Amino acid sequence: MSTAVDTITATSPGVPDHQENAAAVALRIEIDRSCKLPVLLFFGASVFWLLMGSVFGFLASWKLHNPGFLADLSFLSFGVIRTAHLNSVAYGWASPAAIGVAIWLMARLSRVPLRNSAILIVAAIFWNIGLIVGIGGILSGDSMSIEWMEMPGYATPLLFISFALISIWAVIMFRYRRPGHVYVSQWYILAALFWFPWLYGTANIIMHGLEVSGVSIAATNWWYGHNVLGLWFTPIGLAAAYYFIPKVIGRPVHSYYLSAIGFWTLALFYSWNGMHHLIGGPFPAWLITASVVASFMMIIPVVVTAINHHMTMKGYFHLLEVSPTLRFVVFGAMAYTVVSMQGVSMAVRSLNQLTHFTHYTIGHSHLGLYAFFTMIMFGSMYYIVPRLVGSEWKSASMIKWHFWLSAYGILTMVGALTVAGLAQGGVLNDPEIPFMKSVEITLPWLFSRSIAGIVLTIAHVIFAVHFTMMLLGMGRKDGIPTYFTQDNTTPEASVRP
Amino acid sequence: MNSLPKLFIGFFIAFATAWVGLVVVPFLTLGQLQAEVDEDTGELKPPGFGGLAEQGAKVYAAQGCMYCHSQQIRPEYAGSDIARGWGVRRTVPRDYINEKPVFLGTMRTGPDLTNIGRRQPSAEWHHQHLYAPQIISKGSTMPPFKFLYEKRKITGQRSVDAFEVPGYDLEEGYEIVPSQDAKALVAYLLELNRSYSLEESPVE
């Protein structure tokens, strides 16, 4: 952190808001005010789609052990509703949440009020129209059945236009930033906003526009599918973790050099990972091997980032008792390490043989998209929203309930799917055991997963109610942040003007 | 690393290498594959799908069958697919040249369907199974696809397409007939047969 040259450190992480001078405080308030409409638009949409996605997910999960449940309508069939779930949570919840967080971080870290917010508002509208059309298309039988790219060709251009607008906006913001240090979070955000339109554009042109067929489509599919996680959600999640952990505890990030190494190795290796979803499949050996090797190399960015975050947190872990933002974000950052190392192990061919084609992979993806990414987004929103609406979260106990239901819910879900997957894989690998045994053995675990899904849905409803109360101006107006415990020594912005 | 152009060159290089490796090169190489012509019979391998089966592939996509059923046979050293009898040889890129999208799948909640047309060649069985999977295949968790069928009162003669599901309690005077989508889907399933021999993956 080289803040020496900055006269205004207001918006740098590592400087808690209450230690700023008056000019810095005024600027910060101006920045937050300028972000209000676009960020709340994205957050509001994301919370809505989170609830939709939770319902779709529950229906899909229940059908896996009760196939007769609501089976008479085509749009509620498992293969349809599962797809609606994935698209709602990935493109409806996770992406708009990421965009909202990225917008706010860009403005804060560029140290200037938001410019050209009309671009973002148009983008938010396009994005949501695209989602309604796309998910409506899936429900009415127009799914492409290409994993992570199921939306029909008449919906994807809307999402692409929206995203391109956001990328253009980000470049404008970065151009007009106040001179000084570029913090690592900004690299992650800029990179993600540069990669995703390329990724989404290329993959969709190939799937919808070109006269191509054959397994190279599957290669593009998994290049896309894995990079959505690796080069879109992961960078935004890490950008938020890199910002909020230092910000809340009030000290700079442990090592600038480790953040740089972590960033560039992630960029270089993650992009090659996708084909490990196709181990054993009909592809030339070099293609799969390249991805397996790149998957092993992921150890470097993951370990480096884990060390950096841990060393930043060292001596401050007691603040997890106090700050909701910190608790959610640190949970997510720890889950990032776990899910990434699990991902590395799943690229080992012998283990892959056990876990491939099973619920184990589904558990892995929930560990990534929920325990890591979603938890960090929740934490970020708990920090950002009060600053936009000018009031504090109404109830510490609602946040507490949200945290524990989410934490236990997701750990139960991942645990159940992991056990189910290992059992299923064990049976499938033994040709002497009839196939049906691999179905039967998973049933109790799939039932547990459904229960975990209900727990998560309750958590989401609590969060949505709380969030709506904030939008309606029902937050507390006393200016004292909502902490889990009444500890006023916490460095996180203790008093907001 | 503070200037936008320098950062973007870095982002570009990191991303472009993988893009070339995993997207462009596979298209240039695998995209050029042609069907193998059988020397004796002149038949194409893979033979490609008939018109009705192509429609059926769209139903397969719309219903999301691939989220539970794979269509790929791994070599013997990489899995038990062949030992389970799902295929007689590993599948290779050439097997899929006519397909868009490619339903390789990543999940086996249900069995692999690479060669289901050969393993289960009866259209009637498929209709019965799609209509009432739990009756036909005990312990199955496959969703019933009753909405692809019509249960209707018999007026005059029975439909030629009507079928019965043994063990399914059908009211007197009613019959079950497949919709066009159901017929197409079954036509597609019956054409799923990659058990011909290929140069690069011969049937031993």
B18-52 pLDDT, tens digit per residue, is 999 999 999 999 988 999 998 888 899 999 999 99
* Site from A145, A211, A359, A436 to mutate, B interface, most B CB atoms within 10 angstroms: A145
Question: Quick check: B196 contacting A, CB < 8 Å?
Answer: no
Q: Of A193, A94, A67, give the one whose Cα is nearest residue A148.
A: A94
Chain A: closest CA distance from residue B78 (Å): 6
Name the residue among B91, B98, B146 with its Cβ closest to that of A213.
Answer: B98
CA dist., res. A71 & res. A19, Å (int): 59
Q: A282 contacts in B (CB within 8 Å)? A: 72, 90-93, 95-96, 104
pLDDT, mean over chain B: 94
Alpha-carbon distance A338 to A343, whole Å? 9
pLDDT tier, A3 (very low <50, low <70, confident <90, very high otherwise): very low
Own/partner pairs, A124-129, CB within 8 angstroms, 24+ separation: A124/A38, A124/A41, A124/A42, A124/A45, A124/A96, A124/A99, A124/A162, A126/A158, A126/A159, A126/A161, A126/A162, A126/A165, A127/A45, A127/A95, A127/A96, A127/A99, A127/A158, A127/A159, A127/A162, A127/A163, A128/A45, A129/A158
Residue B107, pLDDT above cutoff 50? yes
Q: Which residues contact A438 (CB under 8 A, 6 or more apart)?
A: A423, A424, A427, A428, B108
Model confidence pLDDT, tens digit, residues A29-72:
999 999 999 999 999 999 999 999 999 999 999 999 999 999 89
pLDDT per residue as tens digits for the range B128-169: 999 999 999 999 999 999 999 999 999 888 899 999 999 898
Cβ of A282 and B101 within 8 Å? no
The reported pLDDT for the residue numbered B1 is 55
Mean residue pLDDT across chain A: 92
CB contact under 8 A, A430 and B80: yes
Chain A hits for B78, Cβ within 8 Å: 279-280, 349, 353
| Phi, psi for A398 (deg, rounded to 5) | -65, -40
Distance between CA atoms of A164 and A102, rounded to whole angstroms?
Answer: 14
Quote the pLDDT of residue A487. Answer: 56
- pTM for the full predicted model: 0.94
* A275–B contact, CB cutoff 8 A: yes
* A59-88 residues touching B, CB cutoff 8 A: 63-65, 67-68, 71-74, 77-80, 82-83
- The amino acid sitting at A331 is F
3-state secondary structure chain B: CCCHHHHHHHHHHHHHHHHHHHHHHHHHHHHHCCCEECCCCCCEECCCCCHHHHHHHHHHHHCCHHHCCCCCCCCHHHCCCCCCCCCCCCCCHHHHCCCCCCCCCCECCCCCCCCHHHHCCCHHHHHHHHHCHHHHCCCCCCCCCHHHEEEEECCCCCCCCCECCCCCCCCCCEEEEECHHHHHHHHHHHHCCCCCCECCECCC
pLDDT tier at A480 (50, 70, 90 boundaries)? confident
Q: Per-residue confidence at A460, pLDDT binned at 50, 70, 90?
A: very high
For B141, the closest of A67, A213, A260 (CB atoms) is A67
Give residue A77's pLDDT: 94
The residue count for chain B = 204
Q: Nearest by CB to A216, which of B2, B26, B62?
A: B26
Put simply, the answer to whether B74 touches A271 (Cβ < 8 Å) is no
Question: What is the model's pLDDT at position A2?
Answer: 32
* Contact yes or no for A272 and B61 at CB 8 A: no
Best mutation target, B77, B96, B102, to test chain A (most A CBs within 10 A): B102
Query: Average pLDDT of A83-102?
Result: 98
ipTM, 2 dp: 0.94
Give which of A388, A418, A411 is closest to A459, Cα–Cα: A411
Instruction: Please give the Cα distance from A154 to A136 (Å, whole number).
Output: 11
Looking at chain A, which residue has its C-alpha nearest residue B75? Answer: A280
Which residues of chain A have a CB within 8 Å of the CB of B90? 282
Question: What is the gyration radius of the CA atoms in chain B, in angstroms?
Answer: 22
